[in-house]
Structure 1
Amino acid sequence: MNWLNTLNRLNNEGTAAILITVVANRGSTPRDAGTKMIVTADDTYETIGGGHLEHKAIKQARQRLAEHCSSAQLESYALGASLGQCCGGTIQLLFEPINPPALHIALFGAGHVAKALIPLLGNLPCKVTWIDNRAEQFPAVLPSNVTHCVSEEPVDEVPDLAAFSYCLVMTHNHQLDQALIEALLKRDDYRYLGMIGSNTKRRKFEHRLRHKGFDESSIAQLHCPAGLASVCGKLPGEIAVSIAAELIAHYQIAATGNKTKSATPDKNITSIPLQHTASLAHKR
Structure 2
Amino acid sequence: MMKNIAEAIYELMEGKKEGVLVTVISKEGSGPAPTGAKMIVYPDGSTLGTVGGGALERLAGVRALSLNNMNRDWLERFILNDSEEKGATGMICGGAATLFFEYFPPQTHVYLFGAGHIGKALAYHLKALPYRVILIDDRKEILDSNNDAGQKIHNSFSEVFLKEKPQPNSYFLIATYNHQYDGLILNRIFKESWQPAYVGVVASRRKRSILLEALLAEAPKADLDKCYFPAGLDLGGGTPHEIALSIVAEIQTIVNNKRGVHLRE
Q: Which range, TM-score by smaller chain?
A: 0.5 to 0.7
Tell me what 2:255 maps to.
251
Give the counterpart letter for 1:190 in structure 2.
P
SS class of match (1:128): strand
Give 1:108's match in structure 2, choosing from 113, 117, 121. 113
* Partner secondary structure for residue 256 of structure 2: helix
Kindly provide the CA deviation profile for residues 233-253 of structure 1, in whole angstroms up to 9, marking residues without a partner as x. 211111000111112222334
Q: Show the counterpart of 2:236.
A: 232
Task: Give the corresponding residue for 1:168.
Answer: 173
Q: Deviations over 1:162-207 (max 9, x none)?
A: 2122111110111111010000012242221111111111111112
Match of 1:210 in 2: 216
User: Residue type of the partner of 2:128?
Assistant: N
Equivalent pairs, count: 187
Distance in 2 between the 1:206 and 1:159 partners? 27
Q: Using the aligned pairs only, state the percent identity.
A: 27
Q: Distance in 1 between the 2:71 and 2:254 partners?
A: 13
1:41 paired residue number: 44
Change (3 A) 1:114 1:12: closer
User: Do the aligned partners of residues 236 and 246 (structure 1) sit closer, same or farther apart at CA in structure 2, a change above 3 Å counting?
Assistant: same
**What's the counterpart of residue 177 of structure 1?**
182
For residues 4-45 of structure 1, the C-alpha deviation after alignment (integer angstroms, 9 at most, x for no partner) is: xxxxxx989947348xxxxxxxxxxxxxxxxxxx98322596
TM-score, normalised via structure 1 length? 0.55
Q: Distance in 1 between matches of 2:232 and 2:249?
A: 7
Call closer, same or farther: CA 1:11–1:209 in 2, change over 3 Å. closer
Deviation track 1:222-267 (CA, whole Å, cap 9, x = no partner) reads 11011113x222111110001111122223349xxxxxxxxxxxxx
TM-score (normalised: structure 2) = 0.58
Counterpart pick for 2:161 among 130, 141, 157: 157
**Equivalent residue number for residue 118 of structure 1:** 123
Relative contact order higher in (CA < 8 Å, ≥ 6 apart): 1
Offset of residue 46 of structure 1: 4.8
Q: Which runs of 5+ in 2 are unaligned?
A: 1-7, 21-40, 48-57, 74-101, 259-265
More helix by share: 1
Tell me the distance in 1 between the aligned counterparts of 2:125 and 2:238.
17
Instruction: Check conservation: 2:115, 2:143, Cα contact below 8 A.
Output: yes
Greater shift after overlay, 184-193 or 123-132? Answer: 184-193
Q: In structure 2, the residue corresponding to 1:106 is in which secondary structure?
A: strand
Aligned residue for 2:206?
200
Structure 2 residue matching 1:183: 3-state secondary structure: helix
Structure 1: 5+ residue runs without aligned partners? Answer: 1-9, 19-37, 48-57, 73-96, 255-284
Measured in 2, the distance between the counterparts of 1:13 and 1:150 equals: 21
CA distance in 2, matches of 1:221, 1:246: 12
- For residues 141-152 of structure 1, the aligned pairs below 5 Å read 141-143=146-148, 146-152=150-156
RMSD (Å) for aligned C-alpha atoms: 3.7
Work out whether residues 120 and 244 of structure 1, in 8 Å CA contact, stay in contact via their aligned partners in 2: yes
Contact 2:187 / 2:218 at 8 angstroms: preserved in 1?
A: no
Deviations 1:69-88 (A, max 9, x none): 9699xxxxxxxxxxxxxxxx
